[in-house]
Amino acid sequence: MKPWFASEAFAVMHVKNFRYFLFYRIFMTMAALMQSVIVGWQVYDLTHNVLWLGLIGLVEVIPQVSISLFAGHYIDLWNRRKIINYTTLLLILGSGILLVYSADMSFFSLKYGTFPIFIAIFLTGLSRGILMPAQIALLGQLVPRNLYANAATWNSANWQMAAVIGPAIGGMVYGFWGIVPAYSIVFGFYTLSFFMIMFIKSGRHEVIETGEGVFKRIRSGIGFVFKTP
């Protein structure tokens, strides 16, 4: 009788790079969604104005959407693991700003208002706009083609689990122990995700030179999306 982990469902889990990728994804997703919950409560506590909650989403989504199209172009040309490494450092920087700001909130809020919080949110949106296409591209590079469907299933389930656990942890820690411990966990999860991606050994991906400029490739991509159901 085969052990449970030898079944076909666990085939991709025998790929070491993929295991590191899964740990990276769960730490990254938990940190990002924890931060979203904590930031919302913090901004409302400071302003008591629901309009500012809408601004949080706006400040994050504008850079995320704006850069994602350009990111897709350069991810095809540059080393994907390095792109994820450097972009994760931006997320660590953003969470560090929030942690330092919250450690002496009375001082910083009096001097700078909520401006540092929105700087951190902007960095988060910018980073996530790059990370989303980079992660998908890197996943295809880490596993054999015949295991890609298995890897995509694990990746999706991993994200769903992190999307539930992360906000729950963030809300409970913020409610019971305060904002500094909550942001400390976010900072710690981002740092762990950085180390997980550092352990991945990815081969050099093939670059297909088409001679097209970035804007022409973006237009081609958008046209393909609308023409292909």
Encode pLDDT of 35-51 as tens digits.
999 999 999 888 888 88
Residues 6+ apart with CB under 8 A from 191: 92
Q: Is the pTM of this model over 0.75?
A: yes
In sign, the C-alpha dihedral spanning 216, 65, 84, 103 is positive
Encode pLDDT of 169-223 as tens digits.
998 999 899 999 999 999 999 999 999 999 888 665 555 555 566 666 667 667 7
Q: Which CATH class is domain 12-227?
A: mainly alpha
Domains of the chain, residue spans: 12-227
Q: Decide: residue 173, CB within 10 A, 0-12 exposed, 13-18 middle, 19+ buried.
A: buried
